[in-house]
Amino acid sequence: MKNFFLAPSILSANFSCLGEDIKKVIKAGGDWIHFDVMDNHYVPNLTMGPMILKSLRDYNITVPIDVHLMTKPVDNLIPQFAEAGANFITFHPESTNHIDRTLNLIKDNGCKAGLVFNPATPLNFLDYVIEKLDLIVLMSVNPGFGNQQFLPSTLSKLRKVRKLIEATSLDILLEVDGGVKLENIAEIAFSGANVFVIGSGLFNYSNYDIIVQKIRQELKYAYLKSVH
């Protein structure tokens, strides 16, 4: 079965016991941790910085951490998050004056680099930098808040990006962020995604093991559908 990665978004976790809640969701089958950084400038919300990421590493959270920078500017934060323990760092093309330079900065700091596309952001940025990307992220909601509804227009955008990736023969992951849940994850996977940021669609359940098991069944269905 092809690799599908679940990336629980800790924006929806219980912050009164964050480390323990993350350990529970990893034990249930979360592959990565998705770490949303919002600055109240690029998006209308304020979340968490590198000190929290470092505290999770110190708490023995060892899975890959995917840092999504919804900040403007971004460059000054990249070395801080890399030092704190990020594996992936992603940013929006609108948040930097020099996309290429920002991608190089991420790589120079030892992390994998990704570009994030808002629902209305055109894909033509990929024409110039796709060979430098380890990860492409499609926002399926407008960024800034959790617990939003998935935008169906994302599915056609996913299919376009999947074709672009396959045409390059590069090993690039395709991630979807926003409104992902048990009821739609199979269709999202079938449209080309292989990394799924999932927040309230996971953390709102009292038993993480049961919901992750159900999600994995949906992903298996999507995989079998794609090979037949």
> Using an 8 Å Cβ cutoff, are 90 and 66 in contact?
yes
Q: Does domain 5-227 have CATH number 3.20.20.70?
A: yes
Residue 53 binned pLDDT confidence (cut-offs 50, 70, 90): very high
Q: Active-site residue numbers?
A: 36, 177
Please state which of the ranges 53-57, 59-63, 167-171, 220-224 shows the lowest mean pLDDT: 220-224
* 3 annotated binding-site participant: no
Reported as a single tens digit per residue, the pLDDT across 66-75 is 999 999 999 9
pTM for the whole structure? 0.96
Residue 143 clears pLDDT 70, i.e. is over it: yes
Q: How far apart are CA 188 and CA 221, in angstroms?
A: 12
Q: How far apart are CA 33 and CA 5, in angstroms?
A: 10
* 36 annotated binding-site participant: yes
> What's residue 226's pLDDT?
79
Mean pLDDT of the chain: 95
Residue 1 clears pLDDT 60, i.e. is over it: no
* 110 annotated binding-site participant: no
* Distant-in-sequence, close-in-space partners of 25: CB < 8 Å, separation ≥ 6: 8, 13, 202, 203, 208, 212
* 144 annotated binding-site participant: yes
> What's residue 146's pLDDT?
65
Domain residue spans of the chain: 5-227
> What's residue 214's pLDDT?
97
* 68 annotated binding-site participant: yes
* Distant-in-sequence, close-in-space partners of 45: CB < 8 Å, separation ≥ 6: 38, 144, 145
Reported as a single tens digit per residue, the pLDDT across 90-129 is 999 999 999 999 999 999 999 999 999 999 999 999 999 9
> What's residue 12's pLDDT?
94
Rounded to 10°, the helix 50-58/18-27 angle is: 60
> What's residue 145's pLDDT?
66
> What's residue 223's pLDDT?
83
